[in-house]
Amino acid sequence: MTELLSAKKLLSLAALVGVALAVFWALTMPRFLPNLSIFQQVGNPVKGEDVFNIAGCASCHSAEGAEAEDKLILSGGREFPSPFGTFYAPNISPDPEFGIGGWSTYDLANAMMYGVSPDNKHYYPAFPYSSYARMNPQDIVDLKAFLDTLPPSSEPSRSHDLPFYAQWRRPVGMWKQFFYDPAPVYPNSADGLIERGRYLVEGPGHCSECHTSRNPLGGPIMSLYLAGAPSLEGEGYIPNITPHEDGLAGWTETEIANYLNTGFTPDFDSVGGLMVEVVENTALLSDEDRRAIAAYLKSIPGKPDAPRE
């Protein structure tokens, strides 16, 4: 009788484990965008270049130290240290073997908006798809058209340097269940300029990826949205860019827009650190888009600095 009860307990335990694994597998399954007709259209590479600049593609995917035209060679290789290991930006040049030359626009849209590769694997959220998820599909169509005009590179993508527990990508699907949300952070604005700025900051500009603190699982703490964060470089602090006295309360919209163009603060200090390349990108935007970003940043709720540790 005792042996029979033990066997029943083992069977019950095995059934519970099986159910748990099935639930985990379902919750972590990669999901894809609907294959909309827009992804079959030919994009506008001129508009795509604007998307390329605000999205900061070259800042991550060009070679370390690349300048001028070399920044358009998206060979990858830059390293991004994190508490979870070191990530390396991949080759996203139009090379068909080593880059993404063989990808369709639909493949790119799934990568950017859902964080899923063409071979049905999750991308790590070091790739800011949780922000790109808020993009307009037309912008991705245009971006693909521009990327296809760039020089191919045969540099192989470098494998990430991660601890053993982080090398299995399937659990990233659970991370998405908790932290992936394509909804606007703040409600759409009736003011056209602010609404354009909201789109640029929350979506392709992915400002929150650096300026918002993260929890131990690497998820953004949305109650501290844009209120500053420890530097991704390991030292220092990424500043608060909300209109609080700890942030941009003392800056006018014109001063913010000028900073995004010239890199000079209202007190004539100059941009430094990771923000140098960001300003190089925003300087390529139109005056209207820089004003839109400034208008949005001045319109959102002001928040005190997030904790620095």
10 Å Cβ neighbour count for 222? 13
Residue 23 token pair: 């639930």
Residue 198 token pair: 């909201």
Residue 262 confidence (pLDDT): 96
| 201 against 272, higher pLDDT | 201
Q: Does the predicted model carry a pTM greater than 0.75?
A: yes
10 Å Cβ neighbour count for 308? 11
Residue 273 confidence (pLDDT): 84
Q: What average pLDDT does the chain have?
A: 92
> Residue 129: which of 180, 62, 196, 57 has the closest Cα?
180
Domain edges within the chain: 32-156+164-182, 184-309
Per-residue pLDDT tens digits for 93-142: 999 999 999 999 999 999 999 999 999 999 999 999 999 999 999 999 99
Q: Do 87 and 160 contact (CB within 8 A), yes or no? A: yes
Per-residue pLDDT tens digits for 273-308: 889 999 999 999 999 999 999 999 999 999 999 988
Per-residue pLDDT tens digits for 171-187: 999 999 999 999 999 99
